[in-house]
Structure 1
Amino acid sequence: METKEYIESGILELYVYGLLSESENEEVTAMAKKNPEINAEIIGIEKAIVALSSSFSPFQSVANYEKIKAKLDLNQIAIIETEPSRNWAQYIGWAAAIILMIGIGYQYNQLEQSNKQVVNIETEKAKIEKEKNEFMLKNQQSETNLAVIRDSKNTVIILGGQTVAPESSAKIYWNKETQAVYVDASGLPEPPKGMVYQVWALKLNPLTPTSIGLLEKFDENNQHIFAVNNTEEAEAFGITLEPAGGSLTPTMEQLYTLGKV
């Protein structure tokens, strides 16, 4: 590279500013020793920097300024080989620490995502298991109800609506051999809050009612078929609406359905 091109490349300014690498500094120093034009250009750059610094330093005394200028005398100036003070180990350490923190953050985020996925899978699994159990229970209940309806040994008693609820109806499935009693209450309205239907086995002469069970959790029984207590003898069956927990004797004013055997 020719001297002019070398000077115009800008490397001498970087040299004076201390921004070159060690090898580049050595190269410029060697060139300055061999080439007077390059050495003169370096001196000129240094003078320009000092002059510029002086213009921005109003508190510098005239005496100090003259001392600085004297030191820049062309016959006394010497090229100082400078070694850039760069703590690369410190920069590399910080960069490594940042990369490590980013890596840890990424791994933590991935772990959190994995944990959330596991929780979601477990939740979904529990939900499916619950739905499966509910389906199996309903299916079992449906099979039981169907068996009751199809059992030819059952006597079916139709209970018609009474004065308080003429539109109501119900059916009793009574197996006289096993004494088991099932109630189909699908024809009854849902009982008001705090009330429950109570089933009675009746003897008519004299009228003797015997409670054989409550139709509890009415809204949870989709098919409204209930198993109640067994009974040996009955001439009729009735259903009344009673306060929650039932009554010792039927409230006749709340007799919803009644039917003879």
Structure 2
Amino acid sequence: MESGVLELYVLGDLTPEENLKVEEMAALYPEVKAELAEIEKTLGELADSYAIEPSESSRDSFLSKLTFNEEENITSLPTAKAEHNSQETLNKKEAEVIPLNNTKLNFYKYSFAACFALLIMSVAALFVLYGNLQESKEQLAVLQSSNQDYANQVNYLDKKVESTNEILSVYTNPDFKMVELKGTANSPESKMLVAFNPKEQKVMIDMKNMSMPTHDENHQYQLWALVDGKPVDLGVFDGVVSEAAMKKMKAIDKAQAFAVTLEPKGGSVNPTLEKMMVMGAI
């Protein structure tokens, strides 16, 4: 009743076989028969609403053009009647109906249901996939963070091993002279150690074990070498204990003593003797 077949039947757009099927269904089911009647009524009212009544002049003109031969009309009456009876017989045969086959209609219904179910399953699968993807991203972020922490630890340990190896190489190399610098009257508690290798022209200070007062951000400590009675600049450093241990200073091949003064940040051309912190002779 909702497939549109009944409307096609009323309009005469079905095949004879399909007409028979509709008529059998109408005979079996009162609701189908009632629906057919309602459709016929509706279409009839629609046709009447659009019908055009011919004018008197048009009708008279049409009838005046018709000619009749009395003998032919009399002779043709039985034939026309026979044809009419034949048509009625054909209509009666066509009125014999067989059950309506809804196979094609059912096929479309089941196909739509299958497609809809597949769509639901696909959407559900997409949600599951999206959730797994988000979880994988979170796990990846955790792994990346862990890898970064591990890399930082490895880098720290590498630097520590390198620093330790450097200290060992300094203390075990007989070419290095260990010069202890002691505090002056400006800072009696201060002390630090300078490693001097005149053969390789290396000067290094022990940043890990030194003890120097903390200075402000506008000052730095400056290391000096006393060479033939003249001070030679060996570079500046901050008085902060460092894990780096040994800090390489400027190269020099000979010296009789070392001293450290407190200078403006960046160092001075000549040492400020009033601010000498530590000193030690070789």
Partner Cα distance (1:180, 1:222) in 2: 20
1:172 to 186, 194, 204: 194
- Does the residue aligned with 1:202 lie in a helix, a strand or coil? strand
Could you say what secondary structure the match of 2:152 adopts?
helix
The two structures have a TM-score, normalised by structure 2, of 0.54
Separation (CA, whole Å) in 2 of partners of 1:161 and 1:204: 23
- 1:204 shift after superposition: 6.5
CA separation in 2, counterparts of 1:191 and 1:105? 62
Q: Distance in 1 between matches of 2:116 and 2:218?
A: 72
Higher mean alpha-carbon deviation, 176-185 vs 102-111, is at 176-185
Cα distance in 2 for partners of 1:147, 1:115 equals 47
Cross-structure match for 1:225: 246
Output the CA distance in 2 between the equivalents of 1:253 and 1:98.
87
In 2 relative to 1, CA 200–105 (structure 1 residues): closer, same or farther, beyond 3 Å? Answer: same
Aligned-pair identity in percent equals 24
Counterpart CA distance in 1 for 2:123 and 2:241 is 55
- 1:109 counterpart (131, 134, 143): 131
Residues 195 and 154 (structure 1 numbering): CA distance in 2 closer, same or farther, change over 3 Å? same
Moved more, 166-175 or 223-232: 223-232
Q: Is the 8 A contact 1:198 1:246 kept in 2?
A: yes
Q: Structure 1 or 2: larger helix share?
A: 2
SS of the residue aligned with 1:245?
A: coil
Where 1:137 maps in the other structure, the secondary structure is helix
Contact 1:237 1:259 in 2 (8 A): yes
User: Which has the higher mean CA deviation after the structures are superposed, 137-146 or 244-253?
Assistant: 244-253
Corresponding residue for residue 182 of structure 1: 204
1:204/1:236 contact within 8 Å kept: no
Rate the CA distance shift 1:113–1:194 in 2: closer, same or farther, 3 A: farther
Partner in structure 1 of residue 259 of structure 2: 238
Partner of 2:153: 131
Is 2:236–2:267's contact at 8 Å kept on the other side of the alignment?
Answer: yes
Name the count of aligned residue pairs. Answer: 176
Match of 2:164 in 1: 142
Shift of 1:222: 1.5
| CA contact 2:167–2:245 (8 Å) conserved in 1 | no
The Cα offsets for residues 174-231 of structure 1, whole Å up to 9 and x where unpaired, read as 12222211112422244433432211001464xx211112225x64732542111221
Task: Tell which structure's C-alpha radius of gyration is larger.
Answer: 2
Q: Deviations over 1:31-73 (max 9, x none)?
A: xxxxxxxxxxxxxxxxxxxxxxxxxxxxxxxxxxxxxxxxxxx
- Structure 1, unmatched stretches of 5+, are 1-86
Question: Displacement, 1:113?
Answer: 1.1
Match of 1:153 among 157, 169, 175: 175
2:193 alignment partner, SS class = strand
Distance change (3 Å), C-alpha of 1:192 and 1:204: farther
Let me know the Cα RMSD of the aligned residues.
Answer: 3.0
Partner Cα separation in structure 1 for residue 195 and residue 170 of structure 2: 7
Which secondary structure state, in structure 2, belongs to the residue aligned with residue 163 of structure 1? coil
